[in-house]
Structure 1
Amino acid sequence: MNVEKLKLQVADRAAMRESVRSIFVKEAEAIEAFARGGLDTVCAAIELIVSRDGSLIVTGVGKSGHIGRKIASTFRSLGRHAVFMHAAESSHGDLGLIDPNGVVLALSNSGETAELADMLAYCRAHEIPVISVTSSAESTLAEASTVCIAYGELSEVCINGLAPTTSTTLTLAIGDALAVGFSDLAGVTADDFRRYHPGGKLGQRLRKVEDVMHTGDALPLVSPEAKLVDLTLIMAEKALGCALVTENGKTLGIITDGDIRRHAAELHDLKAIDIMSVNPVTVDRDITLEKAALELSQAKVSVGIVQDSLMRTIGVLHIHQCVLD
């Protein structure tokens, strides 16, 4: 390769790296600047959302619409009924989606989006509060709003300063602040999040022991007097790598595959009570699988038993059930 051409490519790459770095810096600076002066209106908007029992309707057009869809989705994940409604569709029948006891969150950088006019008029006529996120506190949208979150004029980071970039990034951050602030003020818990987000890795991390533990007929239960030959058949049938030695509903001990191997030569002479390990590791039914896996790992065992308040065994958890996909 030509040396001079290679030097030019290296120089171009360095210039590109600096250009890309400046994009992140400028957008971060916009968020930081707003955080220094826009908190009161964001807090007022959060309080308004919490005070309303009905649905949150998020609306916008173009890039604001795309951001609005994500904001509505985040609110739903946190337990608040939220719907995105395209502003243009509101004039063609979708105004019926607006809950009389709800609140509208309208996004528009200019604050002069014509498609919002019918929706704003409807909200005014039916006394439905509107929260706006816009650049101008003097815009038509701002004046029609109950709470206006105005972030001021921004310099878009696109090469021509025209494509929505900095403004949409900031609007998305404001939406996150509204959603997380709502969850904090409304007391949303991890259980609430799991209820609305059972799929994916996030949902998996919040699953509890009681959601996956083996129960009922799946439990490998044997009596203290059980012969080891019969014990091995139970263990093979239940396929959990262990058996629980129980009496009157109480677990006296646990027998693992390793215990069987160590006493293989004595299978015909011993009973379950003779080789069981007393005080087996227990896990709480209400803890997450992530925490259960940590407890089993620290105890250096692969199986934990789950007991009720009367110390009766109600389930068995194998560490493989705690592994997240």
Structure 2
Amino acid sequence: MKKKLRIISIAKQAIETEGKAILNLANLVDEEFADAVDYIYHSKGRVIITGIGKSANIATKIVATLNSTGTPAIFMHAADAIHGDLGTIQENDTVICISKSGNTPEIKVLVPLIKAIGNKLIAITSNKESFLGTQADYVLHAYVEKEACPNNLAPTTSTTAQLVIGDALAMSLLDLHGFSSKDFAKFHPGGSLGKKLYLRVSNLTSLNEKPQVHPDTDVKQVIVEISEKMLGVTAVVENNEIIGIITDGDLRRMLTKVDTFKGLTAKDIMTKNPKKINNDAMAVEAMEIMDTFGITQILAEKDGEYCGVVHIHNLTKEGII
């Protein structure tokens, strides 16, 4: 039990230490931060982000965030840069160098080379008075009082702070670019979030059979239609207009009420005025309607004409649910 309590205590201390440091970063965001963001925004080049050790790992994540939110970015490892990769930097690129101390040997070698090329240099560092801090054109101050490590050695709080500054930078640029949910979908077409932003009902109805019967279709044929189209439902259509719906559930309820379904037709057992959705609507809207009314299928129409069925399985398969 003592061991568990100690683990819980250490974990809480780490979270509290990092939490306080992150909250303090808001006090360090100043006009220089705004100037750096504005420079990147008006730049015609890319953002090259570099670092060494754990800072390099943080750099790769910031690069990914920038790329996914509309700011072209590339990672360049500081050690590789001084051994041939410096050619990654092009004329109009902005270089961001990440280093807690700002005084590591690789940084001291790399910074003068970047300055010699003539590119603007932005520092993300805990030490504004470091070599990196004094040489950079802009400094994004990522100061932390101490690491979460009890020995104050393992990069923990400092790398978290660097990551948060990177997120703040990316979100500021996102706002300046007017980056919208539609833009996000273009950069994330394969993910479930992207699909929620671009997938339409028509993309799903086109995948399914199109079950339909006439109001005067006998119940036996209704059962055949539902079974063959394998969606557990059929639309009741007259003059290509939806006038009702029949589900597996409707058939089961019918069997509990009658001894024989001879002579019964679709219009006798259908549900009138079923829930419908426009075929051009977003798929996520179909999901919301199904969730609200506790249904597993919804009929789609366009300009008053029947288009097909969206089944909850379609939404599950596409990752919408």
Q: TM-score, normalised by structure 2?
A: 0.82
One-letter identity of the residue aligned with 2:35 = A
Instruction: Measure, in 2, the Cα distance between the counterparts of 1:71 and 1:126.
Output: 23
Structure 1 alignment gaps of length 5 or more:
1-8
* Distance change >3 Å, CA 235–CA 132, structure 1 → 2: same
Quote the residue 1:258 is aligned against: 249
- For 1:112, what is the secondary structure of its paired residue? coil
* Distance change >3 Å, CA 287–CA 166, structure 1 → 2: same
Q: Percent identity?
A: 34
Quote the residue 1:302 is aligned against: 296
One-letter identity of the residue aligned with 1:269 = G
Instruction: Measure, in 1, the Cα distance between the counterparts of 2:307 and 2:93.
Output: 44
Matched, 1:287 2:282: yes
Deviation by residue 1:76-121 (Cα, 9 ceiling, x = unmatched): 3324332222112223443333344432221011223343466545
One-letter identity of the residue aligned with 1:235 = I
Quote the residue 1:23 is aligned against: 14
One-letter identity of the residue aligned with 2:173 = F
Correspondence 1:1-325 to 2 at 5 A: 10=2, 14=5, 17-116=8-107, 120-121=111-112, 123-152=114-143, 154-199=145-190, 202-203=193-194, 208-210=199-201, 213-215=204-206, 218-263=209-254, 267-284=261-278, 285-287=280-282, 289=284, 291-308=285-302, 310-323=303-316, 324=319
> Does the Cα contact within 8 Å between 2:70 and 2:177 map onto a contact in 1?
no
> Does the Cα contact within 8 Å between 2:50 and 2:77 map onto a contact in 1?
yes
Deviation by residue 1:285-311 (Cα, 9 ceiling, x = unmatched): 44353x533321322322112333x23
> Does the Cα contact within 8 Å between 2:205 and 2:300 map onto a contact in 1?
no
* Distance change >3 Å, CA 277–CA 175, structure 1 → 2: same
1:179 to partner: Cα distance? 2.0
Quote the residue 1:3 is aligned against: none
Instruction: Measure, in 2, the Cα distance between the counterparts of 1:203 and 1:257.
Output: 33
Instruction: Measure, in 1, the Cα distance between the counterparts of 2:304 and 2:45.
Output: 44
Backbone CA RMSD of aligned residues = 3.1
> Does the Cα contact within 8 Å between 2:147 and 2:157 map onto a contact in 1?
yes
Instruction: Measure, in 2, the Cα distance between the counterparts of 1:75 and 1:159.
Output: 33
Instruction: Measure, in 2, the Cα distance between the counterparts of 1:40 and 1:243.
Output: 63
1:239 to partner: Cα distance? 0.9
Deviation by residue 1:256-300 (Cα, 9 ceiling, x = unmatched): 1223334455644233344332322123544353x5333213223
Instruction: Measure, in 1, the Cα distance between the counterparts of 2:113 and 2:209.
Output: 58
- For 2:152, what is the secondary structure of its paired residue? coil
One-letter identity of the residue aligned with 1:27 = E
One-letter identity of the residue aligned with 1:305 = L
Deviation by residue 1:5-64 (Cα, 9 ceiling, x = unmatched): xxxx63x65455444332222222212222123243333333333333433222100010
Structure 2 alignment gaps of length 5 or more:
none
Instruction: Measure, in 1, the Cα distance between the counterparts of 2:86 and 2:296.
Output: 56
Tell me the number of residue pairs that the alignment of Structure 1 and Structure 2 aligns. Answer: 314
> Does the Cα contact within 8 Å between 2:208 and 2:309 map onto a contact in 1?
no
> Does the Cα contact within 8 Å between 1:221 and 1:243 map onto a contact in 2?
yes
1:68 to partner: Cα distance? 1.0
- For 1:213, what is the secondary structure of its paired residue? helix
One-letter identity of the residue aligned with 2:34 = C
Instruction: Measure, in 2, the Cα distance between the counterparts of 1:39 and 1:313.
Output: 58
Quote the residue 1:6 is aligned against: none
1:174 to partner: Cα distance? 1.0
Q: TM-score, normalised by structure 1?
A: 0.81
- For 2:277, what is the secondary structure of its paired residue? coil
One-letter identity of the residue aligned with 2:219 = L
- For 2:217, what is the secondary structure of its paired residue? coil
> Does the Cα contact within 8 Å between 1:212 and 1:317 map onto a contact in 2?
no
